[in-house]
Structure 1
Amino acid sequence: MTDDQGTPAGGRPGELDAIVVGAGFAGLYMLHRLRGLGLRVRVFERGDGVGGTWYWNRYPGARCDVDSIDYSFSFDEDLQQEWVWTERFARQDEILRYAEHVADRFGLRADIRLGTTVTAATWDDRAGSWEVATDRGDLCRARWCIMATGALSAPKDPEFEGLESFRGVWYQTGRWPQEGVRLAGRRVGVIGTGSTGIQLITEIAPQVAHLDVFQRTPNFSVPQGNRPLDPGYQERVKTDYPRGREDARSSRNGVMRTLDFPEPGHGVRPIQSAEPAPRDDPEAMRSELERRWAFGGANIVTTAYADVIVHPDTNAVVADFVRDKIRATVHDQAVAEALLPHDHPIATKRICADSGYYATFNRDNVTLVDLRRTPIETIVPEGIRTTERTHPLDVIVFATGFDAMTGALLAMDLRGRDGVRLRECWAAGPQTYLGLAIAGFPNLFTITGPASPSVLSNVITSIEQHVDWIAGCIAHARDRGVSEVEATPEAQERWMEHVAALADGTLFPRADSWYMGANVPGKPRVMLPYVGGVGTYRDVCDEVAAASYEGFALDGRVAAAAAAVTPPPPR
């Protein structure tokens, strides 16, 4: 807790037990758990409110692609019973209200410093603590430093020649103005057709005078199937939460089995399975895909068969099914063909979910600009000039994505032992142990960091697991008088080899995706998240903790057999 001036109660100014960077869902829960351990904590958040990605991404159409009843905390029974969601997939404003409710319900705001960006964090070997600096002149010390910076929190800045000459206005979806933007009746151009762009385009098309969609790479999108949540259904889920949450924690993607969508029994097989999962005949397969298409949801179609992400033949069946749906929806077949993804297997890029995206291109006021055929040459005062013509615009919206998983961490001047910069350590790609810790950076933890399930999971399930593990590790150290906890280089190397080997056994490396870091020029091309699944990953983390934090040096003492850490194969 802090006094009115933000000074830790019972301590000198700037002295804390723990510093948390970020006040999204990860930072809020981390603060709650650390308070429960009796620690003095401060959270620094660059936004002027809590909520993380749901504070910043206010663009029209912003909506979660995980079912609302799943996308919520499970750590407090009263909290999960009292909150009532209005839709199957909640909008940004509803999720933000939920985050604010959590902050208020548990009295978390007193220890959160809003509008404050952490610019540097440096490990002081002599003091055995972290020194954290902010853009507001704060200089704080704490034994523990936890990065709750989020996997998708560093938007890519637009890099287009001539942008400064544009006479209209331009925006980024990841930095959308709180007061909103007037788009009705204006000529709007959207660059980017990933998940964000698809949501935005579908939402604004009916209200703008004309919409030019500048597509660099076609993406697969499936119907979201959003609808108001039936109170009776929501009550049944809440009654079944104990089983459902446990089911989610042991699942591949961290979500509960949907009660109103009975599964036909296609079992989950190991991700590295050499043989395809048993498949129906072509007619039965199409019938199953049709059933899932009608129900809707980002991952419903692509999880029809467990080997979609492993075996090209199964993947092609699902991809062709979606391509046929696009052709059947878009009236102009030349436009339809331009919208068809052919450069990556389905689900190797983040699958998108929409509320009528492809039908949008049947509108008279919407034009698809295929940048592979007519690339952008420059932005000019009156709009965007491609190799074919100039598109007159009043507004340009950049939906160009994020420097995922590493961008927010590398934006800080983060230095470990001997002043070594994280940017130097990660020059060839991120290196972590379990996605939780980094060799050479004692007492530093990363929530849903690189080499953890993170963006391949329901992130709140993964956040809770990480926060609970970190809190347990800190409590373990405190109870045993341990002042420093650090991942060993050997354990980190073995974990990264395991992460890479699993990824290489899938189709993910065949796509130039942000999962692979391919969307950022110069970024090392490595698979950033762990593909082995939430349940398997949780088991590994639990085993590490049970073995006295195997793979970590505690005050320089390495737990027995740390160098021999070999994660089990995924289930």
Structure 2
Amino acid sequence: MSDSTTVHDIVVVGAGYAGIYTTIHAAQAGLDVIGLEAGADIGGTWYWNRFPGARCDVESIDYSYSFDKDLQRQWRWSERYATQPEILRYLSHVADRHDVRRHYRFSQRVSQARWDEDAQVWTVRTEQGLETSARWLVMASGCLSTPILPDLPGRESFAGDVYQTAAWPHEHPDFTGKRVAVIGSGASAVQSVPIFAESAAEVVVYQRTANYSVPAFNRPLTDEDWRAAQEDYDHRRELSWNGLAGSPWTSHPVPYDEVPEEEREAIFEEAWLRGGVLFAKAFQGLTARQEINDAAREFFERKLAEIVEDPQTLADLTPHGYAIGTKRICTDSGYYRSFNLPHVSLVNLRRDPIVEVGPSGIRTESGLREFDVIVYATGFDAMTGALTHIDIHGRDGILLRDAWAEGAVNYLGIGVPGFPNLLTLNSAGSPSVLSNMALTSEQQGDYALRLIAHCAAQGFTSAEVRADAAQAWIEHGAEVASGSLFSKTDSWYSGANIAGKARGFLPYIGGFRPYIDRVDRIADEGYTGFVLSTRTAVPA
């Protein structure tokens, strides 16, 4: 089937923060925009990740759009860190306010996109049979939107209930009195385990790698909090847009070496009480210098020892082998304390690996444990998976996953050599997950629409990245990453959680504001690094 014979100006794939922003502003610019979304409604990652305890690790008042000042004043966040239902209500409110849904075709999972050089258009098809065409293809399909399951022997044989945090049912299952296994110990496990523990008869967490998690210190936002936030909002936004991570928080102004040793503990304590990922901002260079990182790690270990009572469980929950902050610090509400409960336990898979999943439960080398429920909290094919899982064919039929077989090569995180008029938002090579995704989505969507408007004004039908510009950008990103401790850590930032995936630090680590300044300068120079043309010649 086809939506029409019309060639649209833009197809936007995805209806999360970036897709909603881009669709709103494309329509405001008078462009004919059609959106495609696999979910039955807007929300992106917040549509799918409905598991109990799901919560953002960026403060609510920052994890929101800045482009609509009236919206900013009128929408009242209830907590410091918003839960999934509240974020989804917010995005739904934005969609209603700006009439976003009329542009979207929901329950349409994109399976293929193909560039037609002669017609200078993209033809996009979905698994459900919809076909549509547009001059520009904007992939706002998300960094963490392609969930993965572990390749465990017998996984399909389990006779009980099976759930995945990244594709949680709309009707929450009742775990009362049930024996629950949680496989994985990343953010979704850290957030959900305390909730499961409230009603389940038993909760067993299967952990391969211990993660650093810092309490959220979440609380309701009082009327006084909200009045203060409104009075300071403009300044807070200014700090966020000019910061390294899209938030108003900065590291301690005095360098670590200049702070007396006896005063460092208080600074770490202050950062700890900020909560979650903000702990990594205690001192400048915390994720770059081993000495500072070691001090932060030792502080964390002292805090953990104050919480976890059992010595073996404490040892197993203590991260080893990588620097704190180089895997995203989790933000929890009672995760570690859950293991003090008599019905919650931990299996260290480094010491006792899974042998197989059977009809009644999970067998490790030490024996079989029987369960009623298995929850897979096993993460995503991050940053690139949402693109490489689609058959995206560029110039001469080249397939994007083949072009990226040795690693994602793009320019500014936005354009890919050999794929004219394809614009990828929050992809590898952009700050994306290392920044506040609400603001990065605005910046990325705005940049894509500026390029589209520039081409229309100048009469260009296509914009394609030069291969040498893309290679230079990737080399620059790798060089910046090599100066940090991130480069020494295997994580989903580098694709290490996916067997066979090319390794390389995927997000741009140079900082949100420096990135904006750099890409804006490129735009001001006429989009250097792109070939803008009405011709079909292959860029040099």
Normalised by the size of structure 2, how large is the TM-score?
Answer: 0.97
Query: Which of these residues, 375, 386, 394, is aligned with residue 408 of structure 1?
Result: 386
Which AA in structure 2 matches 1:289? F
Which AA in structure 2 matches 1:101? H
How far apart, CA to CA, are the structure 2 residues paired with 1:513 and 1:257? 25
- Gap regions ≥5 residues in structure 1: 268-276, 564-571
| Secondary structure of 2:278 counterpart | coil
How far apart, CA to CA, are the structure 1 residues paired with 2:534 and 2:285? 43
| Secondary structure of 1:288 counterpart | helix
String of CA shifts for 1:298-347, please: whole Å, max 9, x gaps: 22221111111111111000011111211221111111011111111000
Aligned to 1:21: 13
Does 1:476 find its partner at 2:464? no
The answer as to whether partners of 1:69 and 1:234 remain within 8 angstroms in 2 is: no
How far apart, CA to CA, are the structure 2 residues paired with 1:214 and 1:388? 13
| Secondary structure of 1:205 counterpart | helix
The answer as to whether partners of 1:327 and 1:337 remain within 8 angstroms in 2 is: no
1:346 and 1:157, CA in 2 relative to 1: closer, same or farther beyond 3 A? same
How far apart, CA to CA, are the structure 1 residues paired with 2:115 and 2:275? 44
Which AA in structure 2 matches 1:57? N
Does 1:419 find its partner at 2:411? no
Does 1:229 find its partner at 2:221? yes
CA positional deviation for 1:121: 0.5
Aligned to 2:262: 283
Aligned to 1:270: none
How far apart, CA to CA, are the structure 1 residues paired with 2:12 and 2:254? 42
Aligned to 2:437: 459
Aligned to 2:206: 214
1:150 and 1:117, CA in 2 relative to 1: closer, same or farther beyond 3 A? same
The answer as to whether partners of 2:181 and 2:204 remain within 8 angstroms in 1 is: yes
Which AA in structure 2 matches 1:480? Q
Which AA in structure 2 matches 1:64? C
Query: Which of these residues, 483, 486, 491, is aligned with residue 508 of structure 1?
Result: 486
String of CA shifts for 1:366-403, please: whole Å, max 9, x gaps: 11111111100001111100000111100000000000
> Following superposition of structure 1 onto structure 2, how do residues 155-166 of structure 1 map, counting pairs within 5 Å?
155-166=147-158
1:16 and 1:235, CA in 2 relative to 1: closer, same or farther beyond 3 A? same
How far apart, CA to CA, are the structure 2 residues paired with 1:167 and 1:299? 38
CA positional deviation for 1:6: 9.3
Which AA in structure 2 matches 1:323? E
Does 1:523 find its partner at 2:491? no
How far apart, CA to CA, are the structure 1 residues paired with 2:298 and 2:203? 28
- How many pairs align? 538
How far apart, CA to CA, are the structure 2 residues paired with 1:135 and 1:14? 20
CA positional deviation for 1:289: 1.1
Query: Which of these residues, 115, 122, 127, is aligned with residue 119 of structure 2?
Result: 127
Query: Which of these residues, 308, 312, 321, is aligned with residue 286 of structure 2?
Result: 308
> Following superposition of structure 1 onto structure 2, how do residues 112-123 of structure 1 map, counting pairs within 5 Å?
112-123=104-115
| Secondary structure of 2:281 counterpart | coil
How far apart, CA to CA, are the structure 2 residues paired with 1:557 and 1:413? 25
| Secondary structure of 1:43 counterpart | strand
| Secondary structure of 1:471 counterpart | helix
| Secondary structure of 2:339 counterpart | helix
How far apart, CA to CA, are the structure 2 residues paired with 1:239 and 1:512? 42
Which AA in structure 2 matches 1:113? R
Query: Which of these residues, 92, 102, 109, is aligned with residue 110 of structure 1?
Result: 102
The answer as to whether partners of 1:222 and 1:296 remain within 8 angstroms in 2 is: no
How far apart, CA to CA, are the structure 2 residues paired with 1:557 and 1:113? 32
CA positional deviation for 1:264: 5.0
CA positional deviation for 1:557: 8.7
String of CA shifts for 1:80-102, please: whole Å, max 9, x gaps: 11100000000000000001111
String of CA shifts for 1:88-124, please: whole Å, max 9, x gaps: 0000000000011111110111111000011100100
Aligned to 1:533: 511
Aligned to 1:54: 46
Aligned to 2:533: 555
The answer as to whether partners of 2:432 and 2:440 remain within 8 angstroms in 1 is: yes
- Say what the alpha-carbon RMSD is for the aligned residues: 1.7
Which AA in structure 2 matches 1:42? I
The answer as to whether partners of 2:252 and 2:281 remain within 8 angstroms in 1 is: no
The answer as to whether partners of 1:210 and 1:365 remain within 8 angstroms in 2 is: yes
CA positional deviation for 1:357: 1.2
CA positional deviation for 1:207: 1.3
> Following superposition of structure 1 onto structure 2, how do residues 161-560 of structure 1 map, counting pairs within 5 Å?
161-257=153-249, 264-266=252-254, 277-293=256-272, 295-555=273-533
How far apart, CA to CA, are the structure 1 residues paired with 2:17 and 2:2? 22
CA positional deviation for 1:164: 1.9
Range with greater deviation from structure 2 (75-84 or 154-163)? 154-163
The answer as to whether partners of 1:23 and 1:148 remain within 8 angstroms in 2 is: yes
Which AA in structure 1 matches 2:238? E
> Following superposition of structure 1 onto structure 2, how do residues 70-109 of structure 1 map, counting pairs within 5 Å?
70-109=62-101
Which AA in structure 1 matches 2:18? A
| Secondary structure of 1:188 counterpart | strand
How far apart, CA to CA, are the structure 2 residues paired with 1:456 and 1:527? 12
| Secondary structure of 1:242 counterpart | helix
How far apart, CA to CA, are the structure 2 residues paired with 1:118 and 1:80? 33
The answer as to whether partners of 1:6 and 1:111 remain within 8 angstroms in 2 is: no
String of CA shifts for 1:225-267, please: whole Å, max 9, x gaps: 1000122222222232222212111101101249xxxx75347
CA positional deviation for 1:290: 1.6
How far apart, CA to CA, are the structure 1 residues paired with 2:2 and 2:105? 8
How far apart, CA to CA, are the structure 2 residues paired with 1:502 and 1:211? 42
| Secondary structure of 2:199 counterpart | coil
Aligned to 1:146: 138
- Gap regions ≥5 residues in structure 2: none
How far apart, CA to CA, are the structure 2 residues paired with 1:184 and 1:279? 53
The answer as to whether partners of 1:517 and 1:526 remain within 8 angstroms in 2 is: yes
CA positional deviation for 1:283: 2.2
CA positional deviation for 1:139: 1.6
Which AA in structure 1 matches 2:156? E
How far apart, CA to CA, are the structure 2 residues paired with 1:252 and 1:112? 33
How far apart, CA to CA, are the structure 1 residues paired with 2:535 and 2:243? 34
Which AA in structure 2 matches 1:285? R
1:301 and 1:266, CA in 2 relative to 1: closer, same or farther beyond 3 A? farther
